[in-house]
Amino acid sequence: MKGSSIHVKPEPVMNLAVQFGKTAMCTKDDKKLGEISEATTVGPLGEERVKAIISIMESLGESLEVVTKRTSKSQKEYAVLKDGLKETVDTMNALCGKSDDMYTEVTQQKRDLEYLLSALQTTETRLDTLECETASVRYTLDSRIFESTREDFDQANGVPFSPNQTEGASAPRASSPAVEMRQNNLILADRWSFGEKIGSGSGGWVCQVYDMLTGTWQVAKVEIVDNQKQSLLRQEYRTYEHIHHPEATYGFSRVHHFSNTGPFNVLILDYFGRSLHEYFQSTHSPDIVFQVAIQCLDRIKTLHEKRIVHRDIKPENFLVDFTSDGLLAITLIDFGLSACIPSNGYGYGHRGNPGQRLPFIGTPLYGSVAAHQGIPQGPKDDLESFGYVIVKLLTGFLPWEAVNSSNTNEYGERTLRRKLEVTAAELCVGLPEELVVFFKHVHSLNVGDRPDYAGLRFLLVNALTQEQERANME
């Protein structure tokens, strides 16, 4: 009916509005809540107001549907996340299982390595035992080979070679790499055939050897091994290696071979002929002596620059040879008593406590005063001994040669006292004044001082010039 009002009970409408209002509150939509509050006024409601309420409820229904969809989506995302977390947990559990397996495997590998190490140690012990047994057998064989050699080496020399021989037939080659006897010859390393003995000492001997590989003569130093003493030949070998490092050094023998053969150490070097001691057995003019002395000084200087002190300078340790052009060539040898020069400048070859007296090292006739006094030797001591060598070559005599005693210690003390009594001027009576200056400079040095090699060489050159001028005037 037109114009009439429709009366609706407010309670159901209010209840419905409140219900949807709660839903709207769940969505936290303030605008919707306002519309609900406005539409649910107590009292008669018109048709328009009812429609508005219905429209609001429909809108709220749509909002509820959106919320439902969002909730459903969130539930799905939660399910995916839950599945992901579960998969992560499973992966971590699997990794833990693999870690356990890896730990077990590593532990087993460690046990295997420990077993291998134990086996290697056992093998090493067996090898050492075998090496000892082999060395014992070699010692026995070599002792039989060298039995006559140790008593009288000359009886074992049947090599028909000699450095003076113009024709040389090849010696029979040996089949063993060690030393063996064949047709009364000694063969070393299937290469070197031993010839005549040319020298001997308390610990061994020196003999010529023929190198069948190069067809040249060389020299072999043979040392009887004494486990209670330090091997001087091995020390000499190491000194040669140091001298020729990083390149060959002129005036020093080259090493061709070093080895231990049963009870012997063998060192093979270049062959350079006679020593100064042999060369000056006959009388030579002073100018020849000073020519030799200049080269000897050069060798000593080179040795000291290699930070080595010789400690046994004497005529026997300088070899005389001539080049293909006929020029004089001097070689310094025998480094069994040599020692390294320390960087701190003190204690050359000294291994005891500072101030402790050392045993005499060298040859008493040419040894320095410091060597007799048990003081560590340095470059100055080599030069002092070298000065005595020059005087000996020029005069054929040293004042303390008259000292005589059967007791070694007493002989050394008497020789020392005589050397202290004789001044440089008395020692060089009748000789060039340059030698007096030479000794004064050497005696002024301390153990760690560097000698004036250039000045000393100038003195020798000047003495040589004067002797040559005197010889020309005569």
In this prediction, the residues of the chain whose per-residue pLDDT falls under 50 are 1-11, 13-14, 20, 24-28, 42-43, 135-136, 138-184, 346-347, 349-352
Range of the domain at 377: 276-473
Q: Examine the fold and report which residue of 232, 254, 270 is the final residue of a domain before the chain moves on.
A: 270
Q: What is the pLDDT of residue 187?
A: 86
Q: What is the pLDDT of residue 243?
A: 95
Tokens of 291: 């020519």
CA contacts within 13 A on the Cβ side of 173: 7
CATH number for 424: 1.10.510.10
Q: What is the DSSP letter of 203?
A: S
- Looking at the structure of the chain, the number of domains it has is 3
At 55, the amino acid letter reads S
pLDDT of residue 405: 84
Residue 70 main-chain phi, psi, to 5 deg: -60, -40
Q: Does any domain span residue 106?
A: yes
Q: What are the CA-CA distances from residue 313 to residues 9, 51, 115, 196 (Å)?
A: 142, 135, 57, 26
Report d(CA 436, CA 456) in Å as an integer: 11
Q: pLDDT at position 381, please?
A: 97
Residue 19 CB neighbours (<10 A): 13
Position 180 scores a pLDDT of 44
136 lies in a domain?
no
CB 285 within 8 A of CB 467: yes
Within a domain: 140? no
Strand partners, 329: 321
At 162-219, the pLDDT tens digits run 333 333 333 333 333 344 433 346 888 889 999 888 888 767 899 999 999 999 999 9
The predicted pLDDT at position 4 comes to 45
CA atoms of 92 and 99, how far apart (whole Å): 10
Neighbouring residues of 420: CB distance < 8 A, sequence distance ≥ 6: 369
- Say if residue 193 is in the same domain as residue 64: no
Same domain assignment for residues 345 and 255: no
295 shares its domain with 381: yes
Same domain, 348 and 448: yes
Q: How many CB atoms lie within 10 A of CB 99?
A: 10
Q: Is residue 125 part of a domain?
A: no
Query: Can you give the pLDDT at residue 350?
Result: 46
Has residue 382 been placed in a domain?
Answer: yes
Residues 351 and 465 in one domain: yes
Q: How much is the pLDDT for 228?
A: 74
Distance CA 70, CA 218 (A): 106
> Does residue 387 belong to any structural domain of this protein?
yes
pLDDT of residue 165: 34
Report the candidate in 245, 290, 227 with the shortest Cα–Cα distance to residue 462: 290
Burial 31-41 (b: 16+ CB within 10 A, else e): ebbebbeebbe
Question: Is residue 211 a contact partner of residue 176, using CB atoms and an 8 Å limit?
Answer: no
User: For residue 315, is the peptide bond before it cis, meaning its omega torsion is within 30 degrees of 0?
Assistant: no
For residue 138, tell me if it sits in a domain.
Answer: no
Whose CA is closest to 390, among 421, 443, 432? 432
